[in-house]
Chains A and B, each alone.
Chain A
Amino acid sequence: LKARTLIWVRRVSQGLFLALFLFLLIQTRFPSGGYQDYSLMVASEQDIRITYPVSFFFQLDPLVWLTSLLSGHLWIRGFFWAVAVLLLTLLLGRFFCGFVCPMGTVHHMVSVIRPTLRGKALIQANQKSGGHRVKYLLLISVLVSAVFGLNAAGILDPISLLFRSLSLAVFPAVGNAIKAACDVIAGSDIKPFNLLGYAAEEIASPLFGYGYPAYQAGWVIGGLFLLVLFLNRIRFRFWCRTLCPLGALFGVFSRFSLFRLEKKEGACTGCQKCTLTCQGAASPGPDGDWDGSECLLCFNCFSECPEQAIAFRFRWFPAQNRGPDMGRRAVLGGLLAGVSIPLLGRLDGQVYRVSDPRLVRPPGSVEERDFLRLCQRCGLCMKVCPTNVIQPTLSEGGMAGLWTPRLVMTLGYCEYTCTLCGSVCPTGAIADISGREKVERPVRIGSAYLDRGRCLPWSGNGPCIVCEEHCPTSPKAIYLRSDIQTAPGGTTVKVQLPYVDLRRCVGCGICENKCPVKGKPAIRVMAAGETRSVRNQMLLDI
């Protein structure tokens, strides 16, 4: 293959995979055309599912597969894709970084479009330095930490990081801006403007929805994403070279790759064009051995060399490439961090003693210890939730549970028969349960409790019953008793007082969400009573 062709093949592949990633990200929502055929008149047995394989990139990702295997001892759905990617890496090297990875493509674009480094500074930045060892440290710590029962891969895994950043920060931020603009236009008195606003909203809705999305820790996620993008000013594809644990994993596996760069002795004139365009600081030039585990297979050097002194060749004989240069300190540091993180992560007592009452996990979530072994913190469940109730944690799950999902009932509530979050979870941290199972078992995610001091009828401030009205179980978990209360003026008022039946409550949180008492609603949901935890039960008989 000619170098130019290879470059174009790479660009097209990068573009297509990035487009596929974005397409699947956008499709990670309640399917708008998924209407049930009412003529069948069946109960909520037809669960509404997304037809697109929205977790495909997570199945491609060997780090997701390996960590959930090491940590959760689970062969995740579609893991063979990841196995195939690793096998191909043995043949071809880090092709995933150069051709597939959407995160790599984003960094590639940011680096190359309006580059900040030129000439000598760029050649300097593309020289090998010790920095690339950091990613091996991170890889080792992630893998060791998985062995010790904490899956922290998702924090740094490029697929998780990109999905989380785009769906919980970039898209909602842009969506909010567009939505606010549409609302302003819709409020104008000039009719054609209104209509333009409505039309714009219809067009934008598949991408951004119709409401104002909210993610409480979104600003941290978005800020870190901007920081990671900014690093490209220091070195091209800084993330891929220095930080990416998935890249490090591919680096380890490209040691034996049959596809490799060959240098023609004597042809080189030392023009440095190869080093100038190298994306991975892989020493393509005359001085030093080519670094297969650092090469991102961008083929820039191959294409740029004016003397044809460099060529990528496929050789069937198994000559080893240079092994990944990890450095002893990175290995030891990784081991130390890998052991420390899970141990420190359990110091807060969330796993062994008592969990945070605010840590209401999505329906179908496995028990907390297993949850931390599997959750990739990717944000798929948060993106797909039709009520926007699932939020990335900041401190509620402890250090070990950073950015794992929890339900914030003031922002949304869990729809009684909806199980979309479990159907998209790439690792099964949220089990793929059916709506029928959720209702009939039932799957409880927590329980509601009343704050009688704030409740309108209980405090004599007037009739209400909104919580009872919305309670979705049958019979209702919130029931009413007629009573007479003393109103603030000293007069009496006839009210219906709400009570919670803990045996029926599933913790869906619609009562908290719809309660007219603002700030802290008068009825709230906490994790106590969640079916996934034996320890977190209140009643003897359930």
Chain B
Amino acid sequence: MDHPITRREAIKRGLCLSGSIAMTCAVGWPGQGLSEANAEDRKKPFLVEGVGETPGYSVQELTEKVFDAAGGMKAFVSRGDVVVIKPNISWARSPNLAATTHPEVLEAVVRLAFDAGAKKVRIADNTIHSADRCFALTGAGMVAKKTGADLVHPRSSLMRDMKLQGNRLDVWPVFVPFVEADKVINLPIAKVHGLSELTIGMKNWIGGVGGRRNALHQDMHQTIVDLARFFKPTVTLIDAIRIMVANGPSGGSESDVAVANRLILSNDPVAGDVKAAGLFHVSPDSVGYMVLAAKQGLGTSDLNAVAQKRVVL
């Protein structure tokens, strides 16, 4: 256990946080640039699958390799960017239970973003369990401490009502760091889910909003698509090193976990999810939000239309 944050440190952090948010705003509204870049990207969707085959392989190395295959982190992050990473760290569970994004993957992505020249890397998720405990147990807190990334503590002042312009969701409180970022990296873990069948990349964005999230289940698939459309990450890296195959999405036992040793990187939010669905032997046609997303033009569920690469370690 470590020392608590001293006041001086807290002031420093606060100033850093506010300063960098100010810088972001001074640069201009980032959403526009992002969506243009995305429109560009969507013309050439790609998918990189990383497979760890050697026993005892390094997850961090695999993460680096996967990004290298897609042209390196520099293809996504420019010098001076504020990068916000959205892992799934919603449950206060230790990493072996595969309820949350693998901390080694998170650490590697943070480091790659810094190496690519990111001015600031933030880790943000509007957690389900108490945020303090999520940060402590999932390993995200340790990653932040080791790498110098900022952990953004979700709170009401960081939720701002925004127009989502979705088919189902209109105005909804959004977790501010994501809209004030230059680049957003989606870093979900692949799990089964009682209602949406699977929770992978697109569903991860439920952690990007606040408000009455427990009412989204009443139209789960359309709200997932609306959120995935609104957040539009620069790139999505799906952590399928350990996947949750039963008792999802919370899990709680190692018997709910299967070791898949996979990472899936894609700029197409639908293609990534479809690829990961294969690990669960689930047909994407049976997952409501994947079908809807493809139909509503968020991406493609036809993996043949995607430039695929495979990296093996």
Contacts and interface: CB of A to CB of B under 8 A. Distances in A.
A51 interface: yes
A199 B20 CA distance: 12
A536 B104 CA distance: 45
B194 to A, nearest CB: 5
Given A31-B1, A36-B94, A38-B139, A474 B247 contact: yes
A464 B3 CA distance: 42
25 contacts: A27-B4, A35-B141, A38-B139, A38-B142, A42-B94, A43-B97, A43-B254, A182-B157, A183-B156, A187-B157, A195-B18, A199-B15, A200-B14, A201-B155, A206-B4, A206-B7, A211-B155, A211-B156, A415-B130, A415-B133, A439-B252, A463-B218, A463-B220, A469-B250, A472-B250
Contact of A36 (B136, B154, B194): B136
State the 6 A-B residue pairs at the shortest beta-carbon distance, nearest first.
A38-B139, A195-B18, A202-B14, A186-B157, A474-B252, A199-B14
Contacts of B10: 202-203, 205-206
B2 A33 contact: yes
B157 A469 contact: no
Given A199-B17, A415-B133, 15 more contacts: A30-B132, A33-B145, A34-B2, A34-B136, A35-B141, A35-B145, A38-B94, A38-B103, A44-B137, A48-B133, A199-B14, A439-B252, A470-B128, A472-B250, A515-B214
A427 to B, nearest CB: 24
Contact of A35 (B2, B195, B249): B2
Interface string A209-228: 01110000000000000000
A191 B28 CA distance: 12
A34 B139 CA distance: 10
B136 A48 contact: yes
Contacts of A199: 11, 14-15, 17-18
B217 A465 contact: yes
Contacts of B309: none
B4 A33 contact: yes
Q: Which of A49, A210, A456, A514 has the most CB of B within 10 A?
A: A210
A468 interface: yes
Contacts of A187: 157, 160
B157 A206 contact: no
A203 B220 CA distance: 38
Nearest to B249: A469
B168 interface: no
Contacts of B103: 38
Interface string B259-290: 00000000000000000000000000000000
Judged by DSSP, the binding face of A is: loop
B18 A198 contact: yes
Given A205-B10, A386-B130, A38 B157 contact: no
A199 B251 CA distance: 36
Contacts of A472: 250, 252
B256 interface: yes
A358 interface: no
Interface residues of A, number: 67
A417 B137 CA distance: 10
A206 B145 CA distance: 18
Contacts of B215: 516
B2 A474 contact: no
Q: Which of B104, B218, B253 has the most CB of A within 10 A?
A: B218
B252 A196 contact: no
A200 B17 CA distance: 11
A213 to B, nearest CB: 13
Interface string A446-488: 0000000000100000111110111111111000100000000
A541 interface: no
Interface string A369-396: 0000000000000000011000000000
B56 to A, nearest CB: 13
Judged by DSSP, the binding face of B is: helix
Interface of A: 27, 30-38, 41-44, 48-49, 51, 179, 182-183, 185-187, 191-192, 194-203, 205-206, 210-212, 386-387, 415-418, 439, 456, 462-466, 468-476, 480, 496, 514-516
Contacts of B256: 474
B194 A469 contact: yes
Contacts of B220: 463
Nearest to B5: A32
Nearest to A479: B194
Contacts of A456: 218
Contact of A206 (B5, B136, B138, B254): B5
B191 to A, nearest CB: 11
Given A43-B97, A186-B157, A205-B10, A191 B250 contact: no
A387 B133 CA distance: 10
Interface in B49-90: none
B11 A203 contact: yes
Contact of B95 (A34, A41, A185, A496): A41
Contact of B153 (A42, A210, A496): A210
Interface in B3-40: 3-5, 7, 10-11, 13-15, 17-19, 21-22, 25
A202 B256 CA distance: 37
B1 A34 contact: yes
Contact of B195 (A195, A417, A463, A475): A463
A203 B7 CA distance: 7
Contacts of B249: 469
B137 A464 contact: no
B214 A474 contact: no
Given A33-B1, A35-B145, A202-B17, A417 B92 contact: yes
A198 B19 contact: no
B255 interface: yes
Given A32-B5, A38-B95, A186-B158, A516 B217 contact: yes
B43 interface: no
B135 interface: yes
B130 A496 contact: no
B42 interface: no
B1 A49 contact: yes
Given A34-B2, A415-B133, A41 B94 contact: yes
Q: Which of A202, A387, A473, A476 has the most CB of B within 10 A?
A: A202
A32 B132 contact: yes
A308 to B, nearest CB: 46
A31 B1 CA distance: 8
Contacts of B5: 32-33, 206
A471 B133 CA distance: 17
A516 B94 CA distance: 27
B195 A43 contact: no
A500 to B, nearest CB: 15
